[in-house]
Amino acid sequence: MQGGLGNQLFCLAFARSLRLLTGDPVALDLSSYGADRFGNAFILKDLAAQIDGLVTDRQPMLGNRFSSALLRSLPFPIPGYVAESPESLSDRTLPLLARHRGYFDGYWQDEGYIHGREAFAVLVRDFLLSRSRSRPDSAVALHYRTYKEENHPVRSRTPRREYFVTAIEAVEAVSGPISRIDLISDDPALAQERIGDIGRRVVPVVGGDAFDDMALILGARALILTNSSFSWWGGFCGVAETVVYPERRGLFHYPIPAGRFLRV
């Protein structure tokens, strides 16, 4: 397990898939928390408890960034260690992975790693909404992760203004004219500066925590997402009729689009 809410959901989804496909218990390695460079903590303990056969564990030798980078760089396979493949998934990928036993290392950011997708989406949506303090109603929500904490330019690439203009056109083609867009971001002011004037009323949403922000995304009737695992799960589990997602175009952190996403 690693990262914030979105990354944790990807890892948890994959662990659940292994459990369902094998019938074996699956341990969630929490050793990355406590030393996470962004100060993240594991916040899905109660959701994990709803999935039979999942337990928590700590494997500090395997679960740190140095060990992961070293094992991934080796030119030969390590028995009992399975790293996420950079190659595209096929229908056989997940069942084949489930045949392995050992330590699984990755973010698993592809819906192809999720067994029983619809049931898991409902489970996640119900859990996330139960943690929110409000039920906001939004016609169009835009989520923008700034990656301002990343020092390397390659790791902080986000969509440019042109993407948002095209995304709005795609939403309006389905839902009609937009008068207001609710902006959810780790830094709304910086997000607005980068997005620029997109000819619509963009209203920053402030004062909530991650669960409150996610509740707004989950309930929106149309979504404009960016390259973020938080964005991805809002689109995957939400009720939006239109979910717009950017093409990769050099974006560094880029969960593979789900089948229901409209890429522009």
The structural domain count of the chain equals: 2
The verdict on residue 121 lying in a domain is no
pLDDT for the residue numbered 180? 93
Mean pLDDT of the region 229-254? 96
What is the pLDDT, as a whole number, of residue 207?
86
Helix/strand/coil for 19: helix
* pLDDT tens profile 146-165: 999 888 888 889 999 999 99
| Residue of 105, 88, 196 whose CA lies nearest to 142 | 196
Boundary (domain end) residue, out of 115, 147, 170: 115
Q: Please determine, for residue 134, whether its predicted confidence score (pLDDT) is greater than 80.
A: no
- Averaged over 70-93, what is the pLDDT? 86
Q: Check whether 64 has a pLDDT greater than 80.
A: no
**Separation between Cα atoms, residue 168 and residue 187, nearest integer Å:** 21
Residue 225: CB partners within 8 Å, gap ≥ 6?
142, 143, 231, 232, 234, 235, 243, 244, 245, 246, 261
Q: What pLDDT sits at residue 62?
A: 83
Is residue 122 in some structural domain? no
Contacts of 129 (CB under 8 A, 6+ apart): 135, 215, 218
**Same domain, yes or no: 25 and 99:** yes
Chosen domain end from 115, 137, 156 = 115
3-state helix, strand and coil shares in percent for the chain, rounded to the nearest 5: 40, 15, 50
pTM for the full predicted model: 0.94
Q: How confident is the model at residue 72 (pLDDT cuts 50, 70, 90)?
A: confident
Q: Which structural domain, as residue segments, surrounds residue 139?
A: 129-263
Claim to verify: residue 139 and residue 236 sit in the same structural domain:
yes
Mean pLDDT for 53-64 is 88
Residue-wise burial string across 144-170, b where 16 or more C-beta atoms lie within 10 A, e elsewhere: bbbbeeeeeeeebbbbeeebbbebbeb
Do residues 159 and 259 share a domain? yes
Does residue 33 sit within a domain?
Answer: yes
Q: 217 with 176, same domain? A: yes
